[in-house]
Amino acid sequence: MPTVSLYPLRFEPILRRLIWGGRRLGTVLHKPIGEGNDYAESWELSDYRDAVSVVNEGELSGTTLRDLVHHRGREVLGPGLSGRSQFPLLVKFIDAREVLSVQVHPDDEKGKRLAGDNGKTETWVVVDAEPESLIYAGLRPGVTREQFQAAIEDGQVEPLLHRFPARPGDCIMIEAGTVHAIGAGVLLAEIQQMSDATFRVFDWGRVGADGRPRELHITEAMESTDFTRGPVNPLIPAREPAGEGNIREGLSRCPFFALERWRLSRPAVLGQTDRFTILMGMEGCAEVRHEGQRARLAFGQTLLLPAAVGPCEIIPDGEAVVLTCVVP
Ligand SMILES: [Zn+2]
């Protein structure tokens, strides 16, 4: 069978329904939601257990991301990252109609030991927020393990959490071990390690779809929490001109991923040959050109540029904001 050349790949979103979800994945981001008021997450790129992304455009339609990594890892991931058996990042949009549980994620060592999963460092870029929307990130200064444990037992966790108003464009880095919750009304993009290891400590006294409180994981959470971390605030982007009026902003950077936000008013070239690049449309619309092919990157859409595709020309329709994500 002749091998199909790779191109900018678009995947079918995997929709997750949870009690705190809403409808903005459909009404704002144009994901194919159905009836119901609980569309919580759109997994844009996933190679996690039974949630595996499938190409939905072009000659490779129907091929899974897992198959691409297994059979064409060097071309997809890039020479520097090939040899991995799993795509390293999970990329989502999250619609919090209601506040999410207060939770913490383990690092790699604790994830393996406590959850049989990878660790989970994640980062958020706020897409939209209501005027009163909050983000809870980290514990207030000086909160001790003993105080946190007592607050969990009393159901009084909220006063110990650092919080700030969510603003569109904010980028917040949630390293493994940071206690956090996404507040009601926030719509955001999340880039994270390929993991679902989540330990809930407090669920605001509510019940799940079955009328019972959702499970908490207090022992694991206490073990995973880094009590030296303290409050976490939105990071201040490193802005620099990137030619012809375009602006490049350095956002989160950690061993797992590096994010940049490109504010484009003129064509730009994005993507690399030695590793893959994920593009997310955050505002406006752009066209991604690769050889004779063209792909749209509208607000709310995600494309994977395989390493073998290399740099692509990105032409904004007027103005566009594009997030790029690579493994450093
Ligand atoms: Zn989280």
Residue 265, domain CATH:
2.60.120.10
pLDDT digits (tens, 9 = 90+) for 14-66: 999 999 999 999 999 999 999 999 999 999 999 999 999 999 999 999 999 99
Looking at residue 128, its pLDDT comes to 98
Q: Structural domain of residue 244, as residue ranges?
A: 238-326
Q: Do 160 and 124 lie in a common domain?
A: yes
Looking at residue 209, its pLDDT comes to 83
How far, in Å, is the centroid of ligand 1 from the Cα of 315? 33
Average pLDDT along the chain: 97
Looking at residue 82, its pLDDT comes to 85
How far, in Å, is the centroid of ligand 1 from the Cα of 120? 8
Q: Is the pLDDT of residue 313 over 70?
A: yes
Q: Do 96 and 154 lie in a common domain?
A: yes
3-state secondary structure the chain: CCCCCCCCECECCEEEEEEEEECHHHHCCCCCCCCCCCEEEEEEECEECCEECEECCCCCCCCEHHHHHHHHHHHHHCCCCCCCCCCCEEEEEEEECCCCCEEECCCHHHHHHHHCCCCCCEEEEEEECCCCCEEEEEECCCCCHHHHHHHHHHCCCHHHEEEEECCCCCEEEECCCCCEEECCCEEEEEEEECCCCCEEEECCCCCCCCCCCCCCCHHHHHHHCCCCCCCCCCCCCEEEECCCCCEEEEEEECCCCEEEEEEECCCEEECCCCCCEEEEEEEEEEEEEECCEEEEEECCCEEEECCCCCCEEEEEEEEEEEEEEECC
Q: Is residue 79 part of a domain?
A: yes
Mean pLDDT on 280-300: 96
Q: Do 179 and 276 lie in a common domain?
A: no
Q: Label residue 270 by pLDDT band (50, 70, 90).
A: very high
How far, in Å, is the centroid of ligand 1 from the Cα of 181? 7
Domain end position, chosen among 224, 256, 278: 224
Q: Label residue 80 by pLDDT band (50, 70, 90).
A: confident
Q: Is the pLDDT of residue 1 over 60?
A: no
Looking at residue 299, its pLDDT comes to 98
How far, in Å, is the centroid of ligand 1 from the Cα of 175? 9
Q: Is the pLDDT of residue 323 over 60?
A: yes
Give how many domains the chain has, as a whole number: 2
Q: Is the pLDDT of residue 3 over 90?
A: no
How far, in Å, is the centroid of ligand 1 from the Cα of 77? 25
How far, in Å, is the centroid of ligand 1 from the Cα of 103? 7
Q: Do 57 and 184 lie in a common domain?
A: yes
How far, in Å, is the centroid of ligand 1 from the Cα of 101? 9
Q: Is residue 229 part of a domain?
A: no
Q: Is the pLDDT of residue 97 over 60?
A: yes
Mean pLDDT on 207-229: 94
How far, in Å, is the centroid of ligand 1 from the Cα of 93? 12
How far, in Å, is the centroid of ligand 1 from the Cα of 290? 35
Q: Is the pLDDT of residue 219 over 80?
A: yes
How far, in Å, is the centroid of ligand 1 from the Cα of 180? 7
